Amino acid sequence: MQPDRMQRLLGSAHGDARGVRDDLRTYVVEGLGHRDGVLIVDETGFLKKGTKSAGVQRQYSGTAGRTENCRLGMFLAYACPLGRALIDAELYLPKSWIEDRARCREAGVPDEVEFATKPVLARQMPARTLDAGLPASWATADEAYGMDSKFRTFLEQRRVNYVVAVPKNQFVACGVRADLRADTQVAAAPAEAWKRLSCGDGAKGHRLYDWAPATVHFEVEPGYRRWLPARRSLTANAKGELEIAYYLCHGPIGTTMDELIRVAGARWAIEECFQAAKNEVGLDQYQVRRFDAWHRHVTLAMLAHAFLAVTAAHAPKAHTVWSASPQQRSVVSWEL
């Protein structure tokens, strides 16, 4: 079968990928929505040859683990006890692209699109989701976003609790005392304070780590506090060191350590979504260059992945049936 019809759908059909994204989010809310939902922000790379594809340039890709000629897509995932799915995406456009409007027009980038850093995009996607009423009590992200004070402030203002990774040299407020580095705070914990706990199931069973107690910094506002737990690996790295990850948390007074660890472990859900979406629905298997075509392909792939996730959540465990009722179906239409 020739790919002409799909190329036309992605490249020249009249339609609104943003509108379909909104339908996708509604579908996920209806199928997976849960009051304990966690929003997860992360990026993934798409290796690409040439210089014509919107957003492509030599830049670091965590997917490849090195600097490559690639595009970077920013994604938002939703994880809850019922399942997990990707619900939003933005193509990151480096500043060099935005400064060359002729190049942008050739790649289908609208003139109104301005430069936005990855941390800015990391705030825009949850904002859209929260405005749409998706139930979420928590958010989590890796160091790239956790260290951004504007990202944390945004979550606090939207009344979303968070557990975000921060670098060891992150300065954290400690009430009346001077601000201290994260590693200095954790180093003060006695050896017996570390407890071996699971932060969720992985491909090989429970993800076990040693966790230091969540040091309370101070009450930031009535009813809310910040904590700084730390996670230590059980085996040494190539340098013979036990790696320690630090988390800055914000939530209601009375939040337990188990709850903070659960949210920290939820961050892996987006990595699992990337892997499943790439392997099962072709998230990274496309031949489009234009900005709008990228969003159309990615949105359709996310929709297909969400369908699988919702179906799996509601089908009998013994014989999962990949079908949906009329109430479950999401109709995607573009005028061809």
Residue that is written with structure tokens 């239409």 in the block: 333
Beta carbons of 268 and 277 less than 8 angstroms apart: no
3-state secondary structure of 251: strand
Residue scoring higher pLDDT (177 or 240) = 240
pLDDT at 267: 94
pLDDT at 280: 93
- % residues pLDDT > 70 (the chain): 85
Strands 161-166 and 83-91: unpaired
Separation of first and last alpha carbons in the chain: 19
Residue scoring higher pLDDT (250 or 7) = 250
Mean pLDDT of the chain: 85
Write the single-letter amino acid at 82.
L
pLDDT at 3: 55
Q: Model-level pTM?
A: 0.87
**96-110 residue pLDDT tens:** 999 999 999 999 999
Check whether 218 has a pLDDT greater than 80: no
Per-domain residue ranges of the chain:
1-142+267-336, 161-263
